[in-house]
Structure 1
Amino acid sequence: MPKEDSSVKRKHNQQLKRDQIWNALVFLLENKPIEKISIQNICDIAKVHRTTFYNHFYDIYDLLGYGTEQMVSGLIPDDILDFNTDAMSANIIHYISRYRNVLANITKTGFKDELFTITDNAFEKYLYKTIAAAKEAYSLKIPIHVIAKFYCAGLSQLLFWWVSNREMSEEELKSQVDEIIQLIKKSCIN
């Protein structure tokens, strides 16, 4: 096997192992706060040895940082480059449904600020790219990066409010997400 192929295979295997360990933590976070989860618990679920864990992550918070980036990257896929209300709503609702307990448990930790920052950055990247793509229709005098920061802060706060608001149905959530996306679109693009 050529050296290049073996290197690619090794990177792929490392990624699979990291994901396996992250998925074990997600499984545990569904029902437990992070302070009640040990490295050994994660290794037992992931079916890996502790040394494998430490080959990939420094500690549980390093794993949490890695996994949070992975989790949030699915919130807004790169292929959504417009104010496609249905696609955005579907992604946000899927994200909340899939990770509600995990996010709730993470927000009870010292990692909460980092989670908010990662989420803000995902929303900001999406809003900036979307508004910039329609630059000729952009009607505000405020620079695009400023308006993107403004709206993403609100979207992030709402996302975490929706996570904790267990009484809200998916239909209500979808309706609110749709309205907010339309509000952003109307205020930025004529």
Structure 2
Amino acid sequence: MKRKHNQQLKRDQIWNALIILLENRPIEKISIQNICDTAKIHRTTFYNHFYDIYDLLGYGTEQMVSGLIPEDILEFNTDAMSANITHYISRYRNVLANITRAGLKDHLLSITDEAFENYLYKTIAAAKDAYSLNIPIHVTAKFYCAGLSQLLYWWVSNRDMSEEELKSQVDEIIQLIKHSCIK
């Protein structure tokens, strides 16, 4: 158990080094050695945990998105959901922009869609007595998550938007989703 914990910590350390680097430069200008230097590890340590930089990106993007919707939000808590999305965009704006410019937008959209869809399905299903639509809940969840994921990356790329404006739009979208399908 301790070994697994240490491996997870090392993987997170390497991912955090890549996040630091992605804040200021695109992925194609980052080498494994840059990551190792930033993480203060040897190259063999990197390769003990990841096959290459894209393996690290796959791991890291899943870690980022898993933090987007914490498991403890089990009800349609619009304030918490809005706060999480706004924080995610603000925190990872440069990182996400550099990842999407590297041609990995489809991967990010796929895991983001899955996270949103799981959240929406669980929260709508939990309130199924108040569900107001005549279509299956999983169809509703798919519909809204696709739009939410696309908006997420539009908000990331819209650098002229203030954080207050971003939060206001996120709040409105989350409220719209809730009120359109729950009485």
Q: Tell me which interval the TM-score lies in, with the shorter structure as reference length.
A: over 0.9
**What is the aligned partner in structure 2 of residue 145 from structure 1?**
138
- Does residue 189 in structure 1 map to residue 182 in structure 2? yes
Which residue, out of 157, 163, 167, partners 1:164? 157
- Does residue 88 in structure 1 map to residue 88 in structure 2? no
Q: CA deviation at 1:82?
A: 2.1
Contiguous gaps of at least 5 residues in structure 1: 1-7
Equivalent-residue separation in structure 1 for 2:105 and 2:177 (angstroms): 26
**What is the aligned partner in structure 2 of residue 129 from structure 1?**
122
- Does residue 40 in structure 1 map to residue 39 in structure 2? no
**What is the aligned partner in structure 2 of residue 64 from structure 1?**
57
Q: CA deviation at 1:179?
A: 1.1
CA RMSD of aligned residues (A): 0.8
Equivalent-residue separation in structure 2 for 1:25 and 1:148 (angstroms): 32
**What is the aligned partner in structure 2 of residue 29 from structure 1?**
22
Which residue, out of 105, 109, 118, partners 1:116? 109
**What is the aligned partner in structure 2 of residue 3 from structure 1?**
none
Please report the TM-score for the alignment, with normalisation by the length of structure 2: 0.97
Please report the TM-score for the alignment, with normalisation by the length of structure 1: 0.94
Larger radius of gyration: 1
**What is the aligned partner in structure 2 of residue 99 from structure 1?**
92
Give yes or no for contact 1:89–1:174 (8 Å, CA) kept in 2: yes
Runs of at least 4 residues of structure 1 off by over 3 A?
none
Equivalent-residue separation in structure 1 for 2:35 and 2:116 (angstroms): 30
Q: CA deviation at 1:83?
A: 2.2
> 1:107-139 CA distances to partner (integer Å, 9 max, x unpaired)?
111322111101111110110000000011111
Equivalent-residue separation in structure 1 for 2:75 and 2:154 (angstroms): 24
SS in 2 for 1:184: helix
Contiguous gaps of at least 5 residues in structure 2: none
What letter is aligned with 1:62? Answer: D
Q: How many pairs were matched up? A: 183
Give yes or no for contact 1:83–1:181 (8 Å, CA) kept in 2: no
